[in-house]
Structure 1
Amino acid sequence: MGYSRFVEIGRVCLVNYGPLNNSLVVVVDVVDGRRALVDGPGVKRQMVSFKRLSLTNLKVEGFVHSATAKIVKKQWEACEIEKKWTESTWAKKLAQREARANTTDFQRFQVMINRKKRSQIINKELAKMKKSA
């Protein structure tokens, strides 16, 4: 199977660097070989380098290049991009990473204790199975 994530009008991207980090945007127009004009919910229309964009499999259909912010917002909602994004494994991994980064010392301690308890239970059951076999 060939590569299917191309920079194109309507491609949804994740900003991976800078003040817009982890924001979803849609490519409205390709400026040149290095930059694109992007727009999205909570993001002002601006030019962003391709180095700062991670292309997703999602695409917003129904508008031509340099469409207004109103049209982009309307098509964004019609395609249910937010819902599709939250269901993707990529978004789930980012949410899990953020949740782990925001844990307190006590929460990390509780996770360690629960892991130990789980492994003890597994080892006991495994020993029973080996003994009976």
Structure 2
Amino acid sequence: MPFKRFVQSGRVALISNGADKGKLVSIVDIIDQTRVLVDGPTTNVPRQAIRINQLHLTKFRLNFPYSGATRVVRKAWAAANLDEEWAASAWAQKQEAK
């Protein structure tokens, strides 16, 4: 089975530790091999650089231009109904049960 969850612009990820643990973000830009720029427009995560090893990549990906502004990310997030899609996923339901 080929690997399908790549670190790429638009990939939705779950923060695994820190102050924003458990919140969804979207990768906006890749800074270097260990850090990415993320933005969580509906989860109240400000645009910030975060280490890749602090993220769990999900199967979801948003379509927006490379290094898109927060309003562009918010619009793509709403167009994809990401909050509803995430809530319906088995991963989110397991987290909710904990």
TM interval, short-chain normalised:
over 0.9
Give the match for residue 54 of structure 2: 52
Bigger-Rg structure (1/2): 1
* 1:34-66 CA-partner distances (Å, limit 9, x unpaired): 0000001211000000010000000111x1221
CA RMSD of aligned residues (A): 0.6
- Matched with 1:21 is 21
Cα deviation 1:46-104 (Å, max 9, x = unaligned): 0000010000000111x12211000000000000110110000000000000xxxxxxx
Give distance in 2, aligned partners of 1:36 and 1:54. 13
TM-score under structure 1 length normalisation = 0.71
**Residue of structure 1 equivalent to 2:85:** 84
Query: Which structure 1 residue ranges, 5 or more long, are not aligned?
Result: 98-133
Three-state SS of the structure 2 residue aligned to 1:18 is coil
Structure 1 position 36 matched with structure 2 position 63: no
State the distance in 2 between where 1:20 and 1:65 align.
Answer: 24
Q: Which residue of 2 aligns with 1:7?
A: 7
Identity %: 38
Q: Which has the higher contact order (CA 8 A, sep 6+)?
A: 2
The structure with the greater share of residues assigned to helix is 1
How many residues align? The count is 96
